Structure formats: C-alpha cells, structure tokens
Amino acid sequence: MSYMERRLADMRQYRPDRTAPEDLEKFWAATLAEAKAKPLNDVRERTSTLSPYIEAYRVTYEGFDETPIQGWYLLPAFGGEGKRPCVVLFHGYTGGKGYPEQYSDLLMLGFAVFAIDVRGQGGETGNLLPQSFGMTRGWITQGLLDPKTSYYRAITVDALQAVRWTAEQPEIDPDRICVAGASQGGGLTLMTLALSDIPAKGIADIPNMCHMDYGILNSTGSLTEAAEFVSRHPDKLEAVLRTLSYFDALNLAERIRKPVFVSVGLKDTICLPETVFAVYNRIEAPKRLQVYPFNGHYTSGDHFRKMASFLLEPAESRAEDE
C-alpha cells in the first residue's frame, strides 16, 4: 500500500469524539424558534445586469438581528414560467456575494440563485451585532466567549433565514432548494443542512466550521484568529472551545438527513483533511466525497461539472465516494 493510499485509508477511519455541550439541542431549539418567529422584513427590487438572459433582483432581509443582509436573487430569463429549483450560495471567508453575472453557469443550467453576503465581511453588508469584549483581527472572535452572542450564531441564523426567504418566493419550487458554498460557505452549508428541513441537498466544498477543536490548534485559516485571541487571553480557552462546539458541524453531522456532496484537499492547511473527514465520516445521509490528493484549499479540474451533475440528480440518489 502506498503512502497516499494509507493516508486516505486512515482519513476514512478518522472518527474523533464529539465535543457537543450538554445543552446543544436545547440551544439550537431555542435559537431556531426565535428565528422562525422573527419577521424577515425583506425588500426585493428589480435591477439590471449586463446580460439580457438574467432576471435580477437586489434583496435585503433581516437574519439574526436587524442587520440588513444583502443578496442577489437571480432567475434565468428563459425556459418557461414553471417553478424553478434554486441554489442558495454562501461565500468564503472575507468574500462577498459579488456580481450577478458570475452566476451565469448555474443560471444556464436552469437554476435560480440566491447569493448572500456574510455579515461584516467583503460584501455590501454591515454588522450590527453588539460586542462586549475585545476582538482580535477578523470577525470570528466577536462574542466568542458566549454562544448566545457569538458571530458564528449570527451568520448561521442569517444563512437559515436566507433559505427560508427563498422558499417563500413565488418562482421557486420549495422542494428543490439546494444550499452550497466553499470554505466558510461549505461550513454554513453543513450547518444549514443540519438545522433546516428546507434544503433538498447541499454542496460543501472544502468546508470550514468542522472539528474546530483540532482546527484552532492546526489551521492556518480563520481559526488563527481564535488562536490569537486565546494567546492573548489564555484563561479564556475553555470558554472559547465551548462556544466553538455549538457551531461545529462535527457535533451536528448526525442531524443531516439530505444528500450532500463534499470535497476535500489532502494538502489543505486551512480546512485540514482531518477536519473534513471527521464530519463526513459521521454523516449518515446519502453522501459523496470528492478527494483532491494534491490540492490545498481549492478544487480543480472538472469540479463544476461534478457539482452540476449532483445538482441535477434526483434528491434521493445515493452517490459514491470518488
């Protein structure tokens, strides 16, 4: 057996202990009930694009709090009047929703798209989340000492409300909504699949928010912000690890019941393969894993075609690892 074969075999067996706090289910039940009761206060306004084949709307809605979350709601301007499937997209850390034209590949496949900003990052969306303790650089250490005030809680609820908004749109078939994203967006995809019964399937590319107790020690990505926070405040380590555990897909993987497509790079130092496999190995729903042995924090080759094939498959299809 080659080293690469051994490495992959070890990862397929990697199953670290869950770090779930005792009140995890109670916490999410209360959070979801609060979100469901909150009005979206949404606004949908038609806008123009560079393509005559895109029907575009600028959308704002309120997610976790009163922060207006910005999004692009896009429909193919062709193909009839029937209800369409929709892909709800979450971007990677520090990014933004970009521009309508960049989603032309999905629109050409007949999918509607709802692409949102993650609050406070590189898009057009601000962040009204209150803060009662200092932060290190970036965003994830905001409210990091308490799961109720955590930035992760806010962005997770923002994502859940985006799916709720999509299901209410008259052009969309609520039974054919998919969630998708890479890195941070992949983590939000897994969280949404675990916490919402709306999505029919999900695509989590090189996902973050997985096995975060391992990541805070080893990742070169966003979790270095949490590591720096603990370096400055060593006495806060237990509180930080406890907060992270509420938003770790490792502790919610068994709740995923819809088909999911996951990708991983074996040379990824941001979302390390250990973190991705730790979650993937616990998912009991129909699942597919695309392994890129020589990739870091990116996918390559015909990956979009693989994603498109997964999107176009019937939701009940069971896929094999590749």
d(CA 123, CA 129): 16
Those residues whose C-beta lies under 8 Å from the C-beta of residue 314, and which sit 6 or more positions away, are: none
311 token code pair: 């999107």
| Known catalytic membership, residue 48 | no
C-beta separation of 54 from 63 below 8 A: no
d(CA 27, CA 30): 5
Is 93 annotated to bind a ligand? Reply is yes
Those residues whose C-beta lies under 8 Å from the C-beta of residue 239, and which sit 6 or more positions away, are: 144, 145, 146
Residue among 42, 205, 248, 268 flagged as catalytic: 268
**DSSP secondary structure, 2-37, as one string:** -HHHHHHHHHHT--PPP---TTHHHHHHHHHHHHHH
Residues for the chain: how many in total?
A: 322
Residue 205 identity = D
Residue among 150, 183, 196, 222 flagged as catalytic: 183
| Known catalytic membership, residue 317 | no
| Known catalytic membership, residue 183 | yes
For CA atoms 73, 208, 34, 150, give the dihedral sign. negative
Residues with a catalytic annotation lie at 183, 268, 297
Which amino acids are annotated as binding site for substrate, given as ranges?
Answer: 93
Which amino acids are annotated as binding site, given as ranges?
Answer: 93
